[in-house]
Amino acid sequence: MRGLYAILDWTTLAARGIDPVAFADAVLRVRPAAFQLRAKEAPAREVLALLRELAPMCRSLGVPLVANDRPDLAVMAGCDFVHVGQTDMPIDRVRRIAPGLRVGVSTHTREQLVAALAARPDYVAFGPVFETSTKRDPDAVVGVDGVRMAHALAGKAGVPLVAIGGITLERARALVGLVDAVAVVSDLVPVAVGSDTLREVTARARALHDRLSPPPAFAGAAT
């Protein structure tokens, strides 16, 4: 996992009247490193229905689909990953009930990070790096210095590191080289909604993808 970890936040899109499937199509055009559905306030039945719409879209482009919080829905929809937080189902239990499902976990302190790395998740997220508006009760900001600490620990453990929390195109510049991927929510969504909204979503996703993805090797380089 390397580059843009795009998140579709149900509440954010609903507040701006943006269709989630159309939004997903616009983001997936740039083939992000991963695509997560976060719909904490939506009924489980609607979350499952949306995951089942997103799964073939992601699969056709080779983009891993991530369900938030719910390993049961992830399995039923055919997702690649489930992402769990500190108050969700523990990693070892997820693996017992869904052995084929890959697991990522959010951490917010050094202690949480060390504990998560010991469980050997498929990736570990750390943050919030900056102030965020998409969480009701956000954890304390860890800053870029906190990410440097997480980079050292995750690198030693051999677990991919994803930065989370308040990340924009400009702020992402400070994280290049410190993390494997960067999770982005709000900066994918235009403030004003109009006829060009989905085109702007794709443009925003492409700008983030280009900033975060490693440059391709030069085919003509001497060997």
pLDDT at residue 219 tops 60: no
Q: Is residue 77 part of a domain?
A: yes
Please tell me the total count of domains within the chain.
1
Q: Is residue 223 part of a domain?
A: no
Q: Is residue 100 part of a domain?
A: yes
* pLDDT score of 135: 66
Residues 103-130 have pLDDT tens digits of 999 999 999 999 999 999 999 999 999 9
12-to-79, 85, 135 alpha-carbon distances in Å? 22, 19, 11
Domain containing residue 65: 3-212
Q: Is residue 220 part of a domain?
A: no
Q: Is residue 147 part of a domain?
A: yes
Give the CB-side neighbour count of residue 207, counting CA atoms within 13 A: 16
CATH number for 107: 3.20.20.70
Q: What confidence tier does 192 reach under pLDDT thresholds 50, 70, 90?
A: confident
pTM higher than the cut 0.95: no
* pLDDT score of 138: 73
- Peptide bond preceding 56: is omega within 30 degrees of 0, i.e. cis? no
Q: Is residue 196 part of a domain?
A: yes
| Residue at token pair 């690649």 | 80
Q: Is residue 118 part of a domain?
A: yes
Q: Is residue 174 part of a domain?
A: yes
